[in-house]
Structure 1
Amino acid sequence: MAAIDPLKLEKWEDAFQQPVASVRVMEKQLRVALQEKKEGLRALVGESYRDLLKTAERIIEMNDSIQAVELHLSQASKQCNYGSLQKKAANAVSMKEREDNRDRQNRVTAAELAVLANCPAAISRILSGEKSPLLAAKLYILARLLRRSVSEKIKSPFLTSLERQLSNLRVTILRDIEHELCLLNTETATILQCLGAYSLITSSSASDTFMHFQALRLNAVTSLLDQDAVSADTILEAIRYVNENLRLSTQLFPRRLSDTLASLKIRPLFQEPALNEMMELNMTVHGHWISESIRKYTPWLKADDLTTAICKSEIASKLGTALRAIFDGLEKAVKVVTKVDVLVRIRHDILVASRVVMGKTSNLESEDLGHSLVKIREIVNTRIREVLNRDIDAIGGLGQDLAKLTSETSTTRSREPVSWSSMLSSFENAKGGRNLGAMVRAVSYSDKSGLRAIRLKHSKWIANIASNYGHIKKMNEEKDWDPDNDDDDDAIDAPESLKDMNDADTQALLSTYVEGLLEGYRSLETSLSTLVEDIRQPGDDPDAPQPIESACVIIRFIYIIRGSSPQYHSADILDLSWFGTQARVKIYELLSKGVSRKALRSFTKDLSRRRWASDVSFNSLWEGSPRLPIQPSPLVFRFLRTLTQSMNEIGVDVWTRDAADALKNSVAKSIWEGLDDSLTSAEKQANGILKPADKDQKQSSEEKSGENGEEKSEENGEEKSEENGEDKGEEKNEEKDGEKDGNRGEDEKNEEEEDQSKEEAAPLNPLNREQILQTYFDTAYLDNALRTVASRNIRGDDKSKEENPATAVSWEFVERMQDKVTIDPDERARMSRSAEDYWRRTSLLFGVLDI
C-alpha cells in the first residue's frame, strides 16, 4: 500500500478517507516529523529558552503599565487645568475669611470642653489596659488644666459632673500606683514611672516621693504580719519584701528618681506624643483651639532635694521597724508549729532569706540590723526547745500509766503466760503462725500484763525522740550559703557563715536535748522508786494481795526502758545502763521472797522429816567403791521443781541474770540455814538433849505452826480450807514427781514407817554416815544449781567465799559435816564431780533457774 503524503492533503477530513492502515502510517510520519521539529527547535534555543519566556512576559507587563500611566496622565491633565486651580484657590481664601470672622472664643471653649469630656474615658482605658501609669497621670494633669480653664468661662452641671469624675479618677490612679509600688515583682522601670506619676499628681518633691515609697513598702510588710494567723511562708514573703525594698532603694534612690523627675520638665506636657495620638481626645481637630497657656504648660517638680544621707537614714529607720515586725510575726508563726523538722526548715529558709538583708545593709547604722540573724536564731531555737521539752515531758505519762497499771494489777492479780503451753500444739494451720507470733510477743514483751499499750507508747515516743534528734543533727550538714560558684550574690557579705551558726545551734540544742532527756529519765526513775517503796512488804497484811504482780510489772517496765534507748544511726543517744538500778534491787528482793516462799516452805517441811540416824532408803542406787551417792535426794528435786514452777508462773521474761542471781543468793542462804538448823537439831537429839517424845512433840508443833504460817501468808487471801487442800495436793504431786525423778520408784511413806519402827525398836543412834554423805551430795548439787554468774568458777577458795557470802555459807556447812563424819578427799572429789555432772545433765529441767 502506497504511503500518503500529508502535505498533499487539502483538508484534514481527507486523511480519514483513506484506509486505516494508511492513516496509521501517516500518523507515525507526522509524529516523527513533529519530534524532529521539536528537537531542532530545542537545539536552536538551548538554555536561553526560559529567559526568552520571561522576557516575553515582561514585555507584556510593560505594555500594560504604559497603558495605565497614559490613562492616569490623561486624567491628571484634565483635573489640573488652570481653571480648576484658580477655583480652588478662591474657595480657600473665602473659607479663611469666614473662619476669621467667627467668634474664636467660643471655638476655644468648645474645643477645651470636648477634650475635657473625653479625658475620663481615656484615663479609664489607660488604667484598665495595663498601660503606663505615668501617661494616665499626664492626662489627668491635662484634664485638670482644661477644667480650670473651662470653669473660668462657663458654669454648667455637666462641668460639675466632670469635676466629680476627675476627683474619683485621681483616687483610682493613686490607688493603682500604690498597688503597683507594693507588688513584689514589679519591674524597676514601672516603679520609676509610678513614682513620677505620684509626684505629678500630688506635686511632691523627690524627697517626699521617696518617703512615700518607703512608707508604702513598710505598710506592705506590716500588713502581712498583722494577720491573726501568720505562717512561715508569710514571714518569708515579708523578708522578700524587705530584700526587694533594699534592692530598689539601692538602685533608684537618690539618682534615678531625680533623673526621672527632671525628665518630666524637659518639654511641655501638651507635646507628649502619646497624648496627641489618643483617639478619644481627637487632637487633630481640637488641638489647634486649645489655649496657648495649656499648650505650653511644663510641670515643675523639685528633683534635687534628696541626698544619700537622707536615703540611708530613712532606709535604716524603716528597715528596723520592718525587722521588729518580722520578729514579732516569727514568734507567732513558730508558736503554732509542733514538729521539729518543720521548725528546722523554717529556720534554714529564714536565715538564707535574711542573708541578703544583712549583706546589703552592712553600711547602715541600726541596732536591729546587727542582731537580726541572732534574733531569728534565738526565736526559732527557743521554739525548738519548747517542742523538745514537751516531748521530753511526755515520758512522765509513762510513769502515770505504770502507776495506774500497778494499782489495777494489785487487785486483778493476772497471770502471765509461760514459755510453753499446751495450746501451742492445737493452733489452726491457717492462723498458726499468727497465733504463735502473738504468743511469743506476749511472753517476750508481757503484753497480757497490760504493758503492751505502755510499750507501744514508749516505742512511738522513742521513735519521735530519735527523729527529732536526727533533724537537729542534720542542721550542721547543710551547705554554707557562700558556695564557690555563687556569682549572683558576690556583692552580699553576711557577717557570719551559715555553717558556723548551724554548728553552734546544733551543739547547743543537742546538749540541751540530751540534758532534758536525762532529767526526764531521772524523774521517771524517781517515780519508779516511789512506786517500789509503796509496794507492801510480803506478809504485812495476810488479807491483802502480795506485791509480786506489781513488782513484775515494774521490773518489765524497767527492762523496756533499758532495752530501747533512743538511738541515732545505730548509736545510743543516751546511756541508760544506770536506769532503775536501785529500784531493781528492791524489786529483786520482793520477787525472791515471794517466789521462793512456797518452795522453801515445802523444803523445810520435807527436811523436818529426815531421819539423820537412819540409813538412806535409796542407798541401793549408790555406785562405786566405796559406794557413794550419785543423785540428790527427792526433797532437793521437789524443791528445785517447785521453785522453777513458781518462777515460770510470774513469767520467764522477768528472770534476767541479775534477777536470777538475786533469787539464788536469797534462796541459797535460806537453804543453808535450814540444813544447818536440821543438822544441829539432829545433833542435839543424838546427844540426848531431846528425848524422842519431846522430839515428836516439837516436830508436831513446828508442823502446826508452819501450817498456820502458810494460811496467813497466802497471796490472795484464800480460805484456810482451800489453802490446806491446795498444799496437800501440791505436796502429794510434788512427792510423786520427786519419787519418780529422785528415788526411781521408792515409796517415802514406807521409808517413814520403817524409820519410825527402827526408832521404837532401838535407842537413839548418832548421825548416820550415809545421811551425811547424801547431804554432802545434796549440798554440792544445790551449790551448782544456785551458783550465780559471778560465782560460776568458784571452787571453794577463800577469795571466792568473800565475794559470794551465800557460797561461803554452803562451804561452811560442808566443813561442819566433815567434822561430824570423816570423808576422804577422794570421796569428796568424787561426789563433787558427780554432783556437777548430774547438774549438767539435769539443768535443762530447771531452765529458768540456769540462766
Structure 2
Amino acid sequence: MASGTLSPTHTLTPSAAFTHPLPQVRTFHRTLTTSLDEKSSRLRTLVGGSYRELLGTAETILRMREDIELVEEKLGRVGKGCGRSVVGGMVGGLGKLQNEGGAGRDMQLGRAARGKCLGMCGVLASRLLKRNMPSESKAQHLVLAAKVLVLGRLLLKSVGGAGGEMEGEVEEMKRKLGGLRRRLLRGVEKIVQKSGEGDREDLLGALKAYAIATSSGAKDVLRHFLQIRAEALTLAFEDDEGEVPGVVRALELYTRTLLDVQALVPRRLSGALAGLKAKPLLKDEAIRELEGLRLDVCERWFGDEILFFTPYIRHDDLEGSFAVETLKAEDEDFEIWIKEGGKARGFDPSILLDGLRKVINERLVQLLETRVKKLHLVATDVEGTLGSWREGITDKQESIWEATMLDMEITYGATLFKQEVLARTHGRNDAISRPFKGYQAWRQLVDEIMTFIEQLKKQRWDDDLEDIEDDLILESRNTLLSKDDPNMLQDHLDTSLEKAYKDLHEKIASMLASYEGEQIGSVSIYILRIIRDIRTELPKNKSLQSFGLALVPLLHERLASSTSEELIKSYSRSFLKKKVAGRSLWEGSPELPVQPSPATFKLLNGLTLAMANAGNDLWSPTAIAVLKKHLRTELVRSWLGTLKDQEEKAASQTNGATTNGEVGPEEAQEEQSNGVEVVDPVHRKEVLLQSLFDVLLLQSSFELPAAADDELQKLGGKLEEQVDLESTSRKRLQQAAKDYWKRTGLLFGLLA
C-alpha cells in the first residue's frame, strides 16, 4: 500500500484514492466535505446579501419616483402662479386698493375690527357670568370674565370719540360692560360669603377676579374681603330661622374668617396677585383660547397700547403685621362679649356657649368618624390583592441574601437598607406592604385625634378671665370644656374604633371563608401576615386587643396542612417497605437500631426546608405546636392503616403455616403462584423494630408543650407489643432515640 499524506489539493481518481490507507481517505473525505460546506455557506451569504441590496435599490427607486412626481406637481402649480398675466393682475389690484383706500381705509378697518371684538367681549363675559354654571368652576370663570371685561374696557377706550354711526353703539357697550362688571362683583361677593375651609381655592379665585376688575392691590382686596364678611356676620345675627341659632352661625363665620385670613395673607394672596401681571393680557392662554374674540385676525388692528397691556396690581403692599392688626380689630367684639357678656341682665351667655360647643363638637365628631371609617381601605386593598392573585408572583418572597441587597445605598445610617432587611425578614413583599403602609397612614390620623383629645383634657379655659366671672361659673365651664367634651369625644372614638376593627375582622373572615382554590395555603399565609402586622400597631384600647385572634387557629391549621401535606404523602409510602435499609449499622446485644430510617430523616429535613420556604417569621411557638399536633395526627392515621394491612397479611400467612410454625416449600410456592406475597417473619420484626425507633424519635421531634397520651404514644405502645422486646432492650431503644435527637436536634432548628 502506498504511503504519504493526502491533502485537499491532490487530484485523485476513485481508483487511485483507495491506494492510500483507509484513515487517510476518510480524513481527506472529511476535509473535502468541510471545505464544500464553507464554500456553500459563503456563497449563500453572498447571494443573500446581493438579493437584499437589490431589494433595497428597488425600494429606493420607487420612493424617488414618488418624490419626483410630487415635486413636478408642486413646480407646475408654482409655474402657473408665477405667470406674467397672473402677477400683473395682482400688482394692478394692489395698486387700485392703495389708491382707493389709503390710510383712511386702514383706520376704518382697524376701528371695525376693534368694534367687532368689543361686542364679543360683552357676549363672552355674559356667558361666563351665567348663574347655572358648575360651582367647582365658578371662581375660574369669574377670573376669566374679569380679564375679558378689562380687554373690553381697553377696546371701548380705543373706539370712543369716533363720532358718526358708532357713537350710539359705543354708549350702549359702555352701559353693558358696566352692568357686567356689577354682576361680576356680586358673584365675587357670593363666593366670599359662602366659602368654607375646603373652598379656599375658590375664595382665592374670587379675590383675584375682584383685583383684576377694580385694579385693587392686596391691601384693598383684604379690606373688601373683611367688609363682605362683616356684612355677612350682621345678616347672620339678624337671621334666627333654621336649626342653628343665628348667633352660632355668626360665630362660626367669624372663626372661619380668622382662619381664612391666616391661610391667605400675606403669601398666598400676594403670590396670586403677582401672577396676574406676569405677562401681557393678550398673552394669556385662557384669553387666546376664547374663539369668539378672533384674536388671530383682529389683534393686528389693536395697537401697542392694547397688545402689550399688563394689569397694574399692587401685590407687595400687604404685610403680615397689617393682617395681625386687622384681625385684632375684628376680634374686639368677641373679647367684649367674653368680658361683659355675663354681666348683662336677662341674657344667659351659657346659651351661646352651648350652641358653640354643639357646633364644634358636631364638627369634631364628623371629622373623627370620617378618619376612623378609612380603615375599610385596608380591607379593600386586601380584597383587590386576592382578586388578582398570581401564584409565584403575588406571594413571592425576597431573600435577604440576594445580590440586589448589595446594590442598595448604605450611607447616612443605611436607612433604606435596614428597612429592606426588616421587610424581608418579616415576609413583607409588595402585596403585604401596600395594605400595611395604608394602615400605618390611617393610624397616624387616629393618633392625631387622640393627641388632640389629650390636649383638650389638659386645656384650662380661665387663664385670661381673672376676676371677670365668679369661681362657680369658671369651674362649671372648665368641667364642660376640659372634661365632659373630651370624654364624649373619647367615648365616641372608642366606639368608632371598636366598630371599625370589628368590620375589618369580619371582612377578612368572609374573604378567608369564601376563597377556594389551590392557593389556599399561600392565601392563608398572606392573611396571617396581614393580621400579625396590624396587631403590632393596635391602639391601646382593651376592646381591640382580640382583633384577628379568632382567625389565627384556622390560619395555623391551613399553614400546617399546606407545609406538610406532600411530605406526609411521601413518607407514607415508606411504610410498605419489607426490609430495613442500614440493618448492618444496628448495635448492641441484641442488635437494635441507633438511627432513623432514611425516610424519617428526609421527613424531618423536608419539614425544616418547607418551614423555611414558607417564612421563618410565621413560626411562632403556637404555630409550631399546631404543626406538630397536625403531624402527630396525620402520620398516625396513615401508619395505623399500613399496620392493619400488614397484620391481616401476617394472619393469613399464619393460617396457612405448618404445625411447626414454618411454611413448607410446597405451600410457599403455591402462595407465590396465587399472587400472595410471603413476608419473612425475621424481616418483618426488623421492620417493626426500625418503625418503633422512628416513632420514638418522632415523639421527641414533635413533642408538645403539654404532653398528652395521644395517638402517636399509642402507636409506639402498639409497636412495642408487636416486637415483644424485653424490658432492658425496650429501655435501651427508647434511650437511643432520645440520644439521637439530642445530638441532631439542632439540624432541624425550627422543630427543636
Of the three residues 416, 421, 427, the one matched with 2:406 is 427
Distance in 2, matches of 1:665 and 1:826, equals 30
For 2:713, give the aligned amino acid.
W
Residues 813 and 495 (structure 1), Cα distance of their counterparts in 2 relative to 1, 3 Å cut: closer
Q: Which residue matches 1:599? A: 567
Q: Note the alpha carbon deviations across 1:413-435, whole angstroms, 9 max, x for none.
A: 444337664648x9369759678
Distance 2:712 2:336 in 1: 81
| Corresponding residue to 1:582 among 543, 550, 553 | 550
Counterpart-to-counterpart distance in 2, 1:353 and 1:552: 64
Q: In the alignment, is residue 664 of structure 1 matched against residue 628 of structure 2? A: yes
Relative to structure 1, the CA distance from residue 495 to residue 660 in structure 2 (aligned partners, 3 Å threshold; closer, same or farther) is closer
Tell me the amino acid that sits aligned with residue 549 of structure 2. T
Query: Which of 450, 457, 461 is matched with 2:442 structurally?
Result: 461
TM-score normalised per structure 1: 0.46
Match of 1:631, SS state, is coil
Deviations 1:102-161 (A, max 9, x none): xxxxxxxxxxxxxxxxxxxxxxxxxxxxxxxxxxxxxxxxxxxxxxxxxxxxxxxxxxxx
Is this contact kept in 1: 2:245–2:355, CA < 8 A? no
Q: Distance in 1 between matches of 2:516 and 2:506?
A: 18
Q: What is aligned with 1:556?
A: 529
2:373 aligned residue (389, 393, 404)? 393
Over residues 493-535 of structure 1, what are the superposed CA-to-partner deviations in whole Å (9 max), with x where a residue is unaligned? Answer: 5572324421111111111101101100000011101110111
CA offsets 1:663-683 (integer angstroms, 9 cap, x no match): 222222111112212222222
Asked whether the 8 Å contact 2:460–2:482 carries over to 1, the reply is: no
Please give the residue correspondences for 1:435-514 in structure 2 after superposition, counting only pairs within 5 Å.
Answer: 437=418, 440-481=421-462, 486=466, 494=474, 496-514=476-494
Offset at residue 690 of structure 1 (A): 11
User: SS of the counterpart of 1:409?
Assistant: coil
Residue in structure 2 matched with residue 278 of structure 1 by the alignment:
none
Residue aligning to 2:700: 784
Gaps of 5+ in 2: 1-188, 201-221, 264-327, 657-671
Which of the residues 231, 235, 245 maps onto 1:324?
Answer: 245
How far, CA to CA, are the matches of 1:486 and 1:450 in structure 2? 59
3-state secondary structure, aligned to 1:645: helix
Question: 1:811 corresponds to which residue?
Answer: 713
- Structure 1 match to 2:750: 848
Instruction: State the shift of 1:548 in Å.
Output: 2.2
- Residues in 1 aligned to 2:450 and 2:653: alpha-carbon distance in whole angstroms: 75
Given that 2:410 and 2:416 are in contact with CA atoms closer than 8 Å, whether structure 1 keeps it comes out as yes
Please, which of 645, 653, 678 is the counterpart of residue 681 of structure 1? 645
The number of residues matched between the two structures is 446
Partner secondary structure for residue 687 of structure 1: helix
How far apart are the structure 1 equivalents of 2:339 and 2:256? 28
1:93-112 matched pairs, under 5 angstroms: none
Q: Please list, as runs of the form range in 1=range in 2, the aligned pairs for 1:695-710 lying within 5 A after superposition.
A: none
Cα pair distance change 1:377/1:434, threshold 3 Å: closer
2: distance between equivalents of 1:361 and 1:487? 14
Judge conservation of contact 1:401–1:454 (CA < 8 Å) in 2.
Answer: yes
Name the CA distance, whole Å, in 2 between partners of 1:492 and 1:576: 39
Which residue identity lines up with residue 660 of structure 1 in the other structure?
I
Cα deviation digits, residues 815-847 of structure 1 (max 9, x gap) = 111221223445444444443343343333333
Instruction: Report which structure shows greater RCO (CA 8 Å, sep ≥6).
Output: 1
The offset of 1:559, in angstroms, is 0.7
Give, in angstroms, the shift of residue 578 of structure 1. Answer: 1.6
For normalisation by structure 2, the TM-score amounts to 0.51
Q: Is the 8 A contact 2:619 2:750 kept in 1?
A: yes
Q: Give SS of 2:249's match.
A: helix
Matches within 5 A, 1:73-222: none
2-side partners of 1:526 and 1:225: how far apart? 45
Find the counterpart in structure 1 of residue 305 from structure 2. none
Q: Which consecutive residues of structure 1, in runs of 5 or more, have no partner in the other structure?
A: 1-222, 246-316, 343-348, 538-544, 567-571, 693-755, 795-799, 802-807
Displacement of 1:603 after TM fit?
A: 0.7
SS of residue paired to 1:474: helix
- 1:765 equivalent to 2:681? Answer yes
Q: What is the CA–CA distance in structure 2 between the aligned matches of 1:550 and 1:390, rounded to whole Å?
A: 30
- Tell me how far apart the structure 2 counterparts of residues 366 and 826 of structure 1 sit (CA, whole Å): 104
Could you tell me how far 1:326 is from its partner in structure 2?
A: 4.1
Structure 1 position 640 matched with structure 2 position 604: yes
- Tell me how far 1:586 sits from its aligned partner: 2.7
3-state SS, counterpart of residue 245 of structure 2: helix
**Residues 394 and 431 in structure 2, CA contact (< 8 A), matched pair in contact too:** no
% identical aligned pairs: 19
Aligned to 2:635, what secondary structure does the other structure show? helix
When residues 845 and 481 of structure 1 are mapped into structure 2, their CA distance, relative to the original with a 3 A threshold, is same
Cα shift at 1:492: 11
Q: Aligned to 1:565, what secondary structure does the other structure show?
A: coil
What amino acid maps onto 1:557 in structure 2? Answer: I
Q: 1:355 to 1:834 in 2, by over 3 A?
A: farther
- Counterpart amino acid of residue 817 in structure 1: L
Q: C-alpha offsets along residues 560-599 of structure 1, whole Å, 9 cap, x if unaligned? A: 1111113xxxxx2455442223332332333232222211
CA RMSD of aligned residues (A): 4.7
In the aligned structure 2, how far is the partner of 1:812 from the partner of 1:839? 20
In 1, the alpha carbon distance for the partners of 2:744 and 2:461 equals 67
**Please, which of 194, 198, 211 is the counterpart of residue 228 of structure 1?**
194
Q: Which amino acid aligns with 2:432?
A: L
Q: CA shift at 1:364, angstroms?
A: 4.4
| Contact 2:196-2:256 at 8 Å conserved across structures | no
Change (3 A) 1:379 1:778: same
CA distance in 1, matches of 2:717, 2:332: 81
1:821 matched residue in structure 2: 723
Q: 1:774 to 1:380 in 2, by over 3 A?
A: same
* Amino acid of the structure 2 residue aligned with 1:512: H
| SS across alignment from 1:629 | coil
Give, in angstroms, the shift of residue 368 of structure 1: 6.8
Aligned counterpart for 2:362 among listed residues 382, 385, 389: 382
CA contact (8 A) 1:551 1:591 kept: yes
Larger Rg: 1
Q: 2 CA distance for matches of 1:630 and 1:420?
A: 38
Q: Residue 355 of structure 2 aligns to a residue in which SS?
A: helix
Distance 1:413 1:584 in 2: 24
Query: Residue 397 of structure 1: CA displacement?
Result: 0.5
Supply the AA of the counterpart residue of 1:556.
Answer: R
The equivalent residue for 1:522 is 502
Q: How does 1:335-374 map to 2 (within 5 A)?
A: 357=337, 360-362=340-342, 364=344, 369-374=349-354
Q: Is the 8 A contact 1:410 1:549 kept in 2?
A: no
- Please say which of residues 620-629 and 810-819 is displaced more in the overlay: 620-629
CA contact (8 A) 1:685 1:691 kept: no
Q: Is the 8 A contact 1:413 1:549 kept in 2?
A: no
Cα distance in 1 between the residues matched to 2:594 and 2:428? 43
Which residue identity lines up with residue 674 of structure 1 in the other structure? S
Give how far 1:408 is off.
2.0
- Give 1:380 shift: 1.0
C-alpha distance in 1, partners of 2:742/2:257? 65
Greater mean alpha carbon deviation, residues 760-769 or residues 599-608: 760-769
| Aligned residue type for 1:650 | A
Question: Which residue is equivalent to 1:621?
Answer: 585
Amino acid across the alignment from 1:505:
D
- 1:437-483: per-residue Cα shift (whole Å, max 9, x none)? 46523323433251112211211211221221111112111234157
CA distance in 2, matches of 1:675, 1:352: 90
Q: Which moved more, 1:429-438 or 1:466-475?
A: 429-438
